Amino acid sequence: MNEFKPGLEGVIAFETEIAEPDREGGALRYRGVDIEELVGRVPYEKVWGLLVDESLDPGMPEPEPFVLARPTGNAPSDLQAATARLSAEWGLRKLVDLDDRDARDDLARLSATMMSVVAQSARGRGQQRVPDDVVAQGETAAERFLLRWRGEADPRHVKAIDTYWICTAEHGLNASTFTARITASTGADCGAAMSAAVGALSGPLHGGAPARVLPMLDEVERTQDPEAYVKDVLARHQRIMGFGHRIYRAEDPRARLLRRTAKELASRRFEVAEELEHVALAALREYKPDRPLETNVEFWSAVVLDVAEIPHDLTPAMFACARVAGWSAHILEEKRTGRLIRPSARYVGPSPRPLSAVAGTPVPG
């Protein structure tokens, strides 16, 4: 296949047994199990087990003792740096030198500890650490995450975070997962693959959209005029955050589940979000009649994370916490293929020419 596909849209790069979104938007299944069955039945750490080990037990372990020395206030940056450092501090071996069992254990330690890094980064500089015995009182990963961050875990916040993490734990071959697989395919260690994925996820077209949804809701709440807001964004040829998807051509099933959760948790933003969604969908249908642009996961994620009082700028790191499961599963799957990823590019640059034709070439003499 030599056809060039911008953004690799529709290109099949791997075969996977982990999960793949159903394009028409009906459902999202992890190892065959619909996420509708998981939410509220099993906590996130068991879903990690389902994705990585294809078994709920033992699931994701407890984090290793780790102190984030100087939180910067930028959680994705703290997470990326700390994850890369863990490779060296723990002496993680290269994937090519590990058997599957050891690679899985490295990924389990990393996944759990990355959550602790985000909680510590969120707590911030100059705050006393929450004592370990207080954190240990939490029964689930979401509870312990909140305890490590805030010293308390409101049950509504726990439900919001656990639901969000389960819904966004894995989603086939998106940019960060592709990055994790590419890095793993070089035989690098698991910390390198996970930290590379964090970098890919920090961009607003992938993991950062919820951070831009809430300001949008704030604005509509202030003006009480969603039509004017949407019209203005489209007139400036900008994107309405939380709509459109590379894969789905119908409603994202995660948006459906998260919308329901936002309602169940009595989000104070539910009404304005529903109204804006309605208006945006109508406007997008008119704006791009040939390309279905439906609500994506990020729109209702923003509302659910807001219930848990997650600050806007922490949403990419929250997404990274969720995605440690998907990344781990894909890194292991990639390791088993043992094949370096190395696609091709078609050269369309200048024809052969002398150095003297290039700007800045020193003139002799």
Binding mask 91-110 for ligand COA (x = CB under 6 A): --------------------
Report the C-alpha gap between 127 and 71 in whole angstroms.
10
Which range of residues in 76-84, 118-126, 141-149, 239-247 is near ligand COA by CB under 6 A? Answer: 239-247
Question: 136, 205, 250, 282: which one contacts ligand COA (CB under 6 A)?
Answer: 205
Nearer to ligand COA, 71 or 244 (CB): 244
The yes-or-no answer on residue 206 being catalytic is: no
Which range of residues in 20-28, 145-153, 243-251, 340-348 is near ligand COA by CB under 6 A? Answer: 243-251
Contact 153, 146 (CB under 8 A): yes
Q: Is 288 a residue that touches ligand COA (CB under 6 A)? A: yes
Contact 89, 117 (CB under 8 A): no
Which range of residues in 45-53, 82-90, 192-200, 241-249 is near ligand COA by CB under 6 A? Answer: 241-249
Q: Is 297 a residue that touches ligand COA (CB under 6 A)? A: yes
Q: Is 7 a residue that touches ligand COA (CB under 6 A)? A: yes
Which range of residues in 146-154, 222-230, 295-303, 339-347 is near ligand COA by CB under 6 A? Answer: 295-303
Q: Is 194 a residue that touches ligand COA (CB under 6 A)? A: no
Q: Is 25 a residue that touches ligand COA (CB under 6 A)? A: no
Question: 243, 300, 319, 327: which one contacts ligand COA (CB under 6 A)?
Answer: 243
Nearer to ligand COA, 262 or 297 (CB): 297
Residue of 171, 206, 245, 330 with catalytic role = 245
The yes-or-no answer on residue 298 being catalytic is: yes
Q: Give the interface with ligand COA as residue ranges (CB under 6 A).
A: 7, 205, 209, 239-246, 288, 291, 293, 296-298
Please give the positions annotated as active site: 245, 298
